[in-house]
Chains A and B, each alone.
Chain A
């Protein structure tokens, strides 16, 4: 029955005992389940292979680190200092896009009517985008990149057609989410941008949020580009960084600390690093500060990312003791809920 192959053979799988026994097989299976059940107590997760302990990630507050290669929807990059977009409207991405959701038009000189290496309008239909990443791959100017933002659920369908104002992100933002990829692309991208900036005039090729602000003259552009690269101060809305990948025994205490920090009125400080979150007293406000002061981070649309910071924030009150305001609950039920929750917290500690 067995067949010999070049490197290997075929073999017949053993079907085991023909007769079913009186439940020993089920007991053996139950044994596995029980072992897993007990290993869930007290066992810490050190590595991926060892996920038999408790490895729940408290999602909104606590996040796993996304790999740099992660891709969700495309964004356009612009230079931090001058606001010049890297895009030159070469139409490569529009052509390669398999579901054909990218649309753009080329900027022209208002006087001569000649084409300028800058993009006039740029629209991506996020609702039909399939996140394949071919646009980012094909872009010769590294102007279009894949974002790590994935919480884009919205009830407003039309808001998923995103224009330049919603697509533009500073280079420093991309550098923060994918440092290795930007490092590879940096030199050629900035060199090409400097060349293209010389051929632009006025507001052409400037990201919408920069228009109207004081702009540096075109000749100074080359310098500005190089100045923008490290951009530590202008850290944009920090990409979701992990609070701590592994759950430790003081996890609950830490979560309470984060929630207390969030209650200070700051937008959900999802990116708060462990150390900052641990000492709540003075750390809370500082953690939130860079997030709140993030420059020109236009939300992809009115109702999507904005909801992250303005809609129902996770604060200590509505998780630990309080209930959402609009919930119709009778008084004693609220009290009961509070006591249960505080009791649970006590147990955890």
Chain B
């Protein structure tokens, strides 16, 4: 359709293509990110994402740091979900060094990871709506829920965003006594939030017009770009690492995987709301089972931080991956038997999900580019590392 109209217009008028920069400093690019957009009038002919402005040498830092020293640095990757990032590194190192994790620690980990998913999706949807121009109101609703979860994180780990909560073999400390009452309280309010949030936005005519049929990412293309996470599931592929390769205790918990049918922005929006509901289910199950779990919050062999610091995994390599709220977050570690990894590689979901942006935007209007970018849910801290 756009191609067609372009031909007609071209035949009638002599138009000129224009190259346009969106970013690096632009409020709608979610960070320091540049888009080179070739436009013909309002229509996007081509789009090239340029990143690297926020490069912080994360992987190289990992190679000059001991394993535990990398843990606080992973918080800074995707600063919305520091718990999920901690989880990824922990799993990779535990695989590499063969460390067992007690059951209770595993449940606490999954609890934190699922709370992280709720807060990420609440914020991601809110920011996406913000990008559409619904300034403030939905954002305030999403951020309000996020704040409550951050309060819980602060209680458990000491920090709201840079949690640094996971340790190899468990978590740094057990949940404080005031944690559970507040979690129950949060859980009481969450279903109302989901319903309200959906009622507020789901059938909003403006949102539907702006998102339906916009930024379609076909199944095959998504798979060939190795897109993961909600973006892939919105395209209709039921791929979730929690199901495909269950880690931690996900194989003991019941949850479903929502998938989309069209793969447009609207589907990504719906998927995120459904995933919040599934995470809510998971947290409910964890609350039920947490009192009956065995083992402490950390493997006794690793409880002393001196052990974490002096960790010397046997030479070899390991790839640990988790389903972070944004997609597959993988840590590839190569050990040469010393206290520092020989190679430390991060497979960042934001980065890989961003690569098909050009394909998604081609043929749409410039205003849609911002919405499509918002629907991928990127964090530049993770894209550039």
Within 8 Å CB of A20, what residues of B? 205, 208-209
Complex Cα distance, B76 from A17, in Å, reads 41
Interface locus among A28-36, A167-175, A310-318: A28-36
Query: Which of A6, A13, A138 touches B274 (beta carbons < 8 Å)?
Result: A13
Known: A13-B258, A15-B261. Is A21-B205 also a contact (CB below 8 A)? yes
Q: Within 8 Å of chain A (Cβ to Cβ): is B286?
A: no
Q: Within 8 Å of chain B (Cβ to Cβ): is A213?
A: no
Query: Which of B173, B186, B204, B251 touches A69 (beta carbons < 8 Å)?
Result: B173
Complex contact A29–B204 (CB within 8 A): yes
Complex Cα distance, B345 from A271, in Å, reads 47
Complex Cα distance, B256 from A224, in Å, reads 62
Within 8 Å CB of B251, what residues of A? 6-7
Interface locus among B115-123, B148-156, B326-334, B355-363: B148-156
Q: Within 8 Å of chain B (Cβ to Cβ): is A1?
A: yes
Complex contact B203–A98 (CB within 8 A): no
Q: Within 8 Å of chain A (Cβ to Cβ): is B262?
A: yes
Known: A10-B238, A12-B260, A13-B260. Is A98-B72 also a contact (CB below 8 A)? yes
Q: Within 8 Å of chain A (Cβ to Cβ): is B80?
A: no
Within 8 Å CB of A2, what residues of B? 238
Query: Which of A10, A32, A69, A130 touches B72 (beta carbons < 8 Å)?
Result: A130
Q: Within 8 Å of chain A (Cβ to Cβ): is B243?
A: yes
Complex contact A29–B144 (CB within 8 A): no
Complex Cα distance, B148 from A49, in Å, reads 8
Q: Within 8 Å of chain B (Cβ to Cβ): is A40?
A: no
Q: Mark A172-210, 1 if CB is under 8 A from B, else 0.
A: 000000001000000000000000000000000000000
Known: A11-B259, A51-B144. Is A16-B238 also a contact (CB below 8 A)? no
What's the least CB distance linking B341 to chain A, in Å? 14
Query: Which of B154, B159, B238 touches A131 (beta carbons < 8 Å)?
Result: B159
Complex contact B255–A8 (CB within 8 A): yes
What's the least CB distance linking B333 to chain A, in Å? 17
Complex Cα distance, B69 from A132, in Å, reads 10
Query: Which of A10, A14, A23, A25 touches B257 (beta carbons < 8 Å)?
Result: A10
Q: Within 8 Å of chain B (Cβ to Cβ): is A70?
A: yes
Known: A7-B255, A25-B203. Is A48-B154 also a contact (CB below 8 A)? no
What's the least CB distance linking B296 to chain A, in Å? 14
Complex Cα distance, B159 from A13, in Å, reads 35
Complex contact B155–A69 (CB within 8 A): yes
Count chain B residues whose beta carbon lies closer than 8 angstroms to a beta carbon of A. Answer: 70
Q: Within 8 Å of chain B (Cβ to Cβ): is A146?
A: yes
Q: Within 8 Å of chain A (Cβ to Cβ): is B378?
A: no
Q: Within 8 Å of chain B (Cβ to Cβ): is A41?
A: no
Q: Mark A56-73, 1 if CB is under 8 A from B, else 0.
A: 000000000011111100
Within 8 Å CB of A74, what residues of B? none
What's the least CB distance linking B113 to chain A, in Å? 16
Q: Within 8 Å of chain B (Cβ to Cβ): is A155?
A: no
What's the least CB distance linking A5 to chain B, in Å? 5
Q: Within 8 Å of chain B (Cβ to Cβ): is A111?
A: no
Q: Which residues, 154 to 200 on B, are CB-close (under 8 Å) to A?
A: 154-159, 162, 164, 172-173, 176, 178, 182, 185-190, 196, 199-200
What's the least CB distance linking B283 to chain A, in Å? 14
Q: Within 8 Å of chain B (Cβ to Cβ): is A96?
A: yes
Interface locus among B21-29, B35-43, B263-271: B263-271
Q: Within 8 Å of chain B (Cβ to Cβ): is A133?
A: yes
What's the least CB distance linking A75 to chain B, in Å? 14
Q: Mark B238-262, 1 if CB is under 8 A from A, else 0.
A: 1000010010000111111111111
Q: Within 8 Å of chain A (Cβ to Cβ): is B291?
A: no
Q: Within 8 Å of chain B (Cβ to Cβ): is A249?
A: no
Known: A29-B201, A67-B154, A67-B155. Is A10-B256 also a contact (CB below 8 A)? yes
Complex contact A13–B256 (CB within 8 A): no
Query: Which of B151, B190, B243, B305 touches A5 (beta carbons < 8 Å)?
Result: B243
Complex contact A32–B200 (CB within 8 A): yes
What's the least CB distance linking A144 to chain B, in Å? 13
Complex Cα distance, B159 from A15, in Å, reads 38
Known: A13-B260, A13-B261. Is A25-B176 also a contact (CB below 8 A)? no
Query: Which of A11, A15, A29, A47 touches B185 (beta carbons < 8 Å)?
Result: A47
Complex contact A96–B201 (CB within 8 A): no
Within 8 Å CB of B309, what residues of A? 95-96, 138
Within 8 Å CB of B76, what residues of A? 130
Complex Cα distance, B199 from A334, in Å, reads 47
What's the least CB distance linking B72 to chain A, in Å? 3
Known: A10-B256, A15-B270, A137-B172. Is A48-B209 also a contact (CB below 8 A)? no
Complex Cα distance, B101 from A116, in Å, reads 40
Complex contact B158–A70 (CB within 8 A): yes
Within 8 Å CB of B162, what residues of A? 130-132
Query: Which of B68, B70, B256 touches A8 (beta carbons < 8 Å)?
Result: B256
Within 8 Å CB of B203, what residues of A? 16-17, 21, 24-25, 28-29
Q: Within 8 Å of chain A (Cβ to Cβ): is B202?
A: yes
What's the least CB distance linking A126 to chain B, in Å? 15
What's the least CB distance linking A131 to chain B, in Å? 7
Known: A69-B158, A98-B72. Is A49-B205 also a contact (CB below 8 A)? no
Complex contact B236–A33 (CB within 8 A): no
Complex contact B73–A98 (CB within 8 A): yes
Query: Which of B69, B151, B243, B306 touches A48 (beta carbons < 8 Å)?
Result: B151
Known: A48-B182, A132-B164, A133-B164. Is A28-B65 also a contact (CB below 8 A)? no
Q: Within 8 Å of chain A (Cβ to Cβ): is B137?
A: yes
Known: A16-B202, A69-B156. Is A98-B243 also a contact (CB below 8 A)? no
What's the least CB distance linking B73 to chain A, in Å? 6
Within 8 Å CB of A31, what residues of B? 199
Complex Cα distance, B68 from A15, in Å, reads 45
Q: Within 8 Å of chain A (Cβ to Cβ): is B54?
A: no
Complex contact A25–B202 (CB within 8 A): yes
Give me 4 other A-B pairs in contact (C-beta within 8 A), A13-B258, A134-B69 excluded: A2-B238, A3-B238, A48-B151, A69-B155
Would you list the 7 A-B pairs with minimal beta carbon distance, nearest first?
A25-B203, A49-B189, A10-B238, A132-B72, A71-B158, A69-B158, A10-B257
A-B contact pairs, 19 of them (CB 8 A): A5-B257, A7-B253, A8-B254, A10-B257, A11-B259, A12-B260, A15-B270, A16-B203, A21-B203, A23-B205, A25-B207, A32-B199, A47-B185, A47-B188, A49-B187, A50-B189, A96-B66, A130-B162, A138-B309
